[in-house]
Amino acid sequence: MKAPSLFKWRHFQSDIILLCVRWYLRYALSYRDLEEMMQERGLTIDHTTIYRWVQHYAPEFEKRCRPHLKACNDSWRVDETSIKVKKAWMYLYRAVDSEGNTIEFFLSSTRDAEAAKRFFCKALRSSVEASSQAGSVDENKTRSFAPVVPLVPRFVPRVINVDKNAAYPKAIAELKAAGVLPEQVELRQVKYRGNLIEQDHRFIKRLTKSGMGFFSFETARKALQGFEIMNMIRKGQLQGVAKGDVRSQVALATQLFAVIA
């Protein structure tokens, strides 16, 4: 999709749209907060309009950033955290490496071995494919857990650290039996090894809290795609963008969407 068609028929300039989307995904702001901030700058933008922008451009932002992600190491920390969607709790599966870099994420309505298998396969695909677009499909309805491409040995995790959730050993055992994971991949169920990912959950939870929850699985999935990729950018996981280098982060976003800042 080319930049002109991406912003075609919008009532506001592309740089204003991208600014609102980027700020919402990066900071703990509500749509009404952004509406007021734009009013201070002489722009009358309804909060529902900003919501529609986020829903449309957050998945596109993730898709365009994926090819620029740096490789993660082979020591995984896996955990799930709860996200409220339409007054019901959903589960956001997440994995980081031993340096705190985000490997993958997956939103599910269930917390069982089947959901864990789908998450592990999504993580394996993203570690192999330089430009994975697995997040663009409805993750909760994806039943097959076989990877699309064969695994490359150097991208297979050496060790997977999880908590005491009984679903993880079952999921790993079934993936090994199916030949998706090699037998030598070690599973460690040690609670304290999850401290790193527990700390990483806080950034995502802080962002979702300001929005007062989500009204559907689909809206939650799209917003979380943006939250997670912005978290990766913040941590310096994209090529040529160092951690804490805000100017480079802004330049990357404008370059990906071919927008003049």
Look at the block and give the residue holding tokens 């499909």.
Answer: 137
Q: Residue 58 has what pLDDT?
A: 96
Q: Is residue 171 part of a domain?
A: yes
Q: Is residue 51 part of a domain?
A: yes
Query: For 213, phi and psi rounded to 5 degrees?
Result: 85, 180
DSSP secondary structure string for all residues of 120-185: HHHHHHHHH-TT--GGGS-GGG----S-SSPPPGGGS-SEEEE-S-THHHHHHHHHHHTTSS-TT-
Structural domain tally of the chain? Answer: 2
**Helix 14-26, helix 246-256: angle, nearest 10:** 130
Radius of gyration of the CA atoms of the chain, in A: 19
Q: Is residue 210 part of a domain?
A: no
Residues 174 and 89 in one domain: yes
Look at the block and give the residue holding tokens 């809206």.
Answer: 219
Residues 94 and 196 in one domain: yes
Residues 240 and 166 in one domain: no
Helix (H, G, I), strand (E, B) or coil at 237: coil
d(CA 111, CA 130): 28
DSSP letter for 71, please.
P
Q: Residue 142 has what pLDDT?
A: 36
* Cα distances (Å, whole numbers) of residue 97 to 62, 100, 123, 246: 19, 5, 12, 23
Residues 44 and 108 in one domain: no
Residues 177 and 232 in one domain: no
Q: Residue 139 has what pLDDT?
A: 43
* Tens-binned pLDDT, residue by residue, of the chain (261 aa): 444 577 777 888 889 999 999 999 999 999 999 999 999 999 999 999 999 999 999 999 999 999 999 989 999 999 999 999 988 999 999 999 999 999 999 999 999 999 999 999 999 988 776 334 333 334 443 334 334 334 444 578 999 999 989 999 999 999 999 999 999 999 999 877 678 898 889 888 888 887 666 889 999 999 999 999 999 999 999 988 899 899 999 998 888 887 654
Q: Is residue 208 part of a domain?
A: no
Read off the pTM: 0.84
Query: With contact defined as beta carbons under 8 Å apart, do 54 and 138 qualify?
Result: no
Query: With contact defined as beta carbons under 8 Å apart, do 95 and 122 qualify?
Result: no
d(CA 116, CA 78): 10
Q: Is residue 19 part of a domain?
A: yes
Q: State the Cα angle at 234 between 229 and 240, rounded to 5°.
A: 90
d(CA 151, CA 129): 9
Q: Residue 260 has what pLDDT?
A: 53
Structural domain boundaries, residue 250: 3-68+216-256
